Amino acid sequence: MTDRPKDKAALAQRIRDTEMDGAPDQMRAAFSHLFAPLPDVLTETIAGVPCGMFGEGPPILWLHGGGLVLGSPETHALAAGYVAQATGRQVIVPDYPKAPEHKWPAQPDAAQAVLEALGCVPVVGDSVGGQLALIMWMRRPDLVQRLVLMSPNTDRTGLSETRKRDADLMNDHEGDESFARMALGDYDPTDPEVSPATADLTGLPPTMILACGAEILLDDSLIFARRAALAGAEVDLRVWPGLWHLFPLWPDLIPEGRAALDAAAHYITEVSPSSPARA
């Protein structure tokens, strides 16, 4: 069994030492290694999609990241469990179909099926899961109460300048583009489902965006927040200096990750003065 890193520095070293290349199954194993040892997760099938279930109470839908190729309820268990405990609600993490075995739009279609089975709920998404969360709002605005987006993918049209840098331990532009081609094929970057920042954001529900200063997707958060605000949306944007992509997924090792999840939990459970009361 792989021992858990003892602190943030040891985790950073594990990330540096882990090669994220090879066949999809090899990359998935490497990604899982970053979170090892993985816990056993209670799963249920919702609308034909296996889902990790964390906590009890009214549901929260969490769409996990991993470039549409990697990730699972197990890799996101610590973060999802933390939010479940902090909110007193059940967090549901669909294990949606992965590329390249399953081509787009299998991923948002599966997420939509789960959302429609749950009804109107808060939706959380990290990385490409943030993109999926925004697609859920675009497809079914009546079913998305509010959004929490953690370092979301929102723009593939070339506006981002931070995608060009190499300061991010967890992500790089070439890898992000490789996953996109693997999942989306010959995609149109101006398609709102590919680049949600290009969508008409009128009517976007209250939205929290959490990011960090050193990640390549920082501009994806900043560009989207600006466009959402100009469209009249309520936006709460928080950026932690330094760190790396997906930092909230290790709340036991990264204090800033705990702070981000605490902020997310509060945002999910509070009732904004500018929005109606929600169940």
SS3 for 148-184, per residue? Answer: EEECCCCCCCCCCCHHHCCCCCCCCHHHHHHHHHHHH
* Residues forming a β-bridge with 90: 59
pTM above 0.85, yes or no: yes
> One of 127, 160, 195, 221 is an active-site residue; which one?
127
What domains does the chain contain, in order, with CATH numbers?
Answer: 41-269 (3.40.50.1820)
Confidence check: pLDDT of 21 > 70: yes
Q: What is the pLDDT of residues 207-261, one digit of tens each?
A: 999 999 999 999 999 999 999 999 999 999 999 999 999 999 999 999 999 999 9
Confidence check: pLDDT of 180 > 50: yes
Average predicted confidence (pLDDT) for the chain = 95
Say whether the peptide bond before residue 94 is cis (omega within 30 degrees of 0). no
Distance CA 162, CA 217 (A): 6
Distance CA 136, CA 141 (A): 7
Q: What share of the chain is helix, strand, coil (3-state, %, to 5)?
A: 40, 15, 45
With contact defined as beta carbons under 8 Å apart, do 34 and 44 qualify?
no
Catalytic residue check, 127: yes
Confidence check: pLDDT of 274 > 70: no
> One of 151, 160, 193, 215 is an active-site residue; which one?
215
Cα-Cα-Cα-Cα dihedral sign, residues 9, 172, 127, 202: positive
Q: What is the pLDDT of residues 89-125, one digit of tens each?
A: 999 999 999 999 999 999 999 999 999 999 999 999 9
With contact defined as beta carbons under 8 Å apart, do 260 and 151 qualify?
no
